[in-house]
Structure 1
Amino acid sequence: MKTVLQTTNSSFSIASAISDFKEITKIRLALSVVFSSIAGYLLGVDVVDFKTLILLAFGGYFMVGASNAFNQIIEKDLDALMDRTKNRPIPAGRMSVTTAFIIASVFTILGVIILYIINPQTAMFGAISIFLYTSVYTPLKTKTPLAVFVGAIPGAIPFMLGWVAATDDFGIEPGTLFMIQFFWQFPHFWAIGWFLFEDYKKGGFFMLPTGKQDKGTAVQIIMYTVWTLIVSLIPVFGFTGKLHLSPVSAIIVLGLGLGMLYYAIQLFKKMTEEAAKKLMLVSVSYITLLQIVYVLDKFIR
């Protein structure tokens, strides 16, 4: 009986440790970032090199995991104040700061090395992403709503990073991919900031552009949704070098964008947390489907 109990406890401890590891590195978010990077790679490459693709996936995961771990170390006391984050490994006491720091440091080193193997530019942009997220964006979150603007920079790098990994070059093409994901982040994160407003307030975070759930914030969400849609359609006009989009795919992207705009307008009309949550979910679908459409358009055309 004792042996069975010890085995059960051991299994529970291993499962708990794995769960905490996933949480400290935010594996779901990391996988979405890896997806963006791979989409950017497929758009930029002439012949797919699966070794580079695998390196990019692992390097991207390590870089995002490192950023998230550092973020949770810095915000451990504030995380303990919010319902959304109080059960994270560090504030809940299941993981020490030292352990989290070791994970973050090892992930940073592995991420930079792996991306450097692809090419130095990819490693440089990956390192810039970690630095901006942990050293600028994270401290600014409790100071000013402008933190979202700063955070949108590392958040927009993955889509672009894939192209740089494929070509070892930064030009109009990866710049356009960067701008698409940059503008997209404002309606996405402001929608999150809206429906989590009260919880964020407990931690002292300033996420909404006006600092309130008001018409001013809703109008800015609509504006940045429109900008996202416009930038997403630019490749159809032939101004973006090797990055092309066919008229048919442009119509699909337009439809996706109008769908997102509809929910942004619904938030303006209803001013509810439920409307904000719907916009957030639609925004995730938008950026994912857009990247799929872009990639399919290249290989089917």
Structure 2
Amino acid sequence: MGYSKSSLATHSVISDFKEITKMRLALSVVFSSLAGYMLGVDVVDLKTLVLLAFGGYFMVGASNAYNQIIEKDLDALMERTKNRPIPSGRMTVTTAFIIASVFTLLGIIILYSINKQTAMFGAISIFLYTCVYTPLKTKTPLAVFVGAIPGAIPFMLGWVAATDDFGIEPGTLFALQFFWQFPHFWAIGWFLFEDYKKGGFYMLPTGKQDKGTAVQTIMYTIWTLLVSIIPVFGFTGTLSLSIVATCVVFVLGLGMLYYAIKLFKKMTELAAKQLMLASVSYITLVQIVYVVDKFIR
């Protein structure tokens, strides 16, 4: 009996740690930055790749822990978040703050060891996410625009880590992930609308599940699709795409657009959930296509 209790305690400590740092989200962000790195390098350096993975994870984990400290009272009001470590009472604010602070330090030190610019963009993303995006979420739907900036940094961060240079190439990667976040965020905001309302969050551009929100979702999906094929035209420096890869990326974009239009037609939470899942598949597959295309050409 004693054994099962202690193993249960260990399990809950590990699962709480995973939850306070949002491990799944953090790993998807790390995936983005590694894809950006692969696009930027001539020769892959395993040490830099490992440093970037850990540095990126610490940065995102820190941002998520700070976010949950700030929103602990609001999280307690929502079904989706009331069982998080802090509102449920399983973790104290002090513990969470220590985790967040240690993660911030480790993240910046590790990214700094790659190069100064990588550390700078990492620090900017933590600051914007924690000090600007999080407080704005309960004030205005424009918070999503601010949140899209730190959210778009990882893909670009990988390129900067590889080249120590910020130019048109990482700018394009940033733009792609920036525009993509709107249909992704708004789809989540749509199907969790009632839950978000309990916490006082208004994530949708019009503040409502209406045609206006659905139209803007379609518009930003089209922007994402257009940005994704820009590298084929040859004016994004060393970031380029073959015709075949461009066609694949374009078709993936049409897939996401199909679900955005479906949301406009159906206006249901199910359609929003389908768009959210489509958007996650889209960004992952596009990043894979970009990287594979670079290495097989």
**TM norm. shorter chain > 0.5:** yes
Corresponding position: 1:104 with 2:103: no
Displacement, 1:7? 1.6
Structure 1 counterpart SS, 2:84: coil
Partner of 1:153: 149
The answer to whether the aligner puts 1:174 opposite 2:167 as a matched pair is no
Once residues 235 and 117 of structure 1 are traced to their aligned partners in structure 2, the CA distance between those partners, rounded to angstroms, is 30
Matched, 1:128 2:124: yes
Aligned to 2:206: 210
Instruction: Say which of 25, 31, 42 aligns to 2:27.
Output: 31
Distance 1:269 1:106 in 2: 47
Amino acid at match of 2:203: M
Aligned twin of 1:16:
12
Superposition map of 1:50-199 within 5 A:
50-199=46-195
Amino acid at match of 1:62: F
List structure 1 runs of 4+ shifted beyond 6 angstroms.
Answer: none
How far apart are the structure 2 equivalents of 1:6 and 1:285? 43
Cα displacement (A) at 1:28: 0.1
Deviation for aligned residue 1:6: 1.6
Question: How do 1:220-235 residues align onto structure 2 when only pairs under 5 Å count?
Answer: 220-235=216-231
**SS state at 1:83 partner:** coil
In the alignment, the residues of structure 2 paired with residue 263 and residue 34 of structure 1 have an alpha-carbon distance, to the nearest angstrom, of: 26
1: CA distance, partners of 2:264 / 2:15: 38
How far 1:215 moved relative to its partner? 0.2
**TM-score (normalised: structure 1):** 0.98
Percent identical among aligned pairs is 85
Whole-angstrom distance in 1 between the partners of 2:15 and 2:255: 35
Structure-2-length-normalised TM-score:
1.00
Deviations 1:144-177 (A, max 9, x none): 0000000000000000000000000000000000
The one-letter code sitting in structure 1 at the alignment partner of 2:263 is L
Aligned residue in 1 for 2:36: 40
Deviation at 1:206, TM superposition (A): 1.1
C-alpha root-mean-square deviation of aligned residues, in Å? 0.3
Aligned counterparts, 1:212-291, within 5 A: 212-291=208-287
One-letter amino acid matched to 1:217: T
Tell me which amino acid in the other structure corresponds to 2:152: A
Deviation at 1:42, TM superposition (A): 0.2
Residue by residue over 1:211-236, the C-alpha shift from the partner in whole angstroms, topping out at 9 and shown as x without a partner, is 00000000000000000000000000
* Deviation of 1:8 (Å): 1.4
For residues 184-208 of structure 1, give each alpha carbon's deviation from its aligned partner in whole angstroms, at most 9, with x where no partner exists.
0000000000000000000000100
Distance, in Å, in 2 between the alignment partners of 1:143 and 1:177 is 29
Cα distance in structure 2, aligned partners of 1:7 and 1:192: 40
CA distance in 1, matches of 2:156, 2:129: 16
Partners of 1:6 and 1:108 in 2: CA distance: 36
Amino acid at match of 1:77: D
Unaligned runs of 5+ in 1: none
Q: Deviations over 1:14-58 (max 9, x none)?
A: 011000000000000000000000000000000000000000000
Where structure 2 has 5 or more consecutive residues not aligned to the other structure, the ranges are none
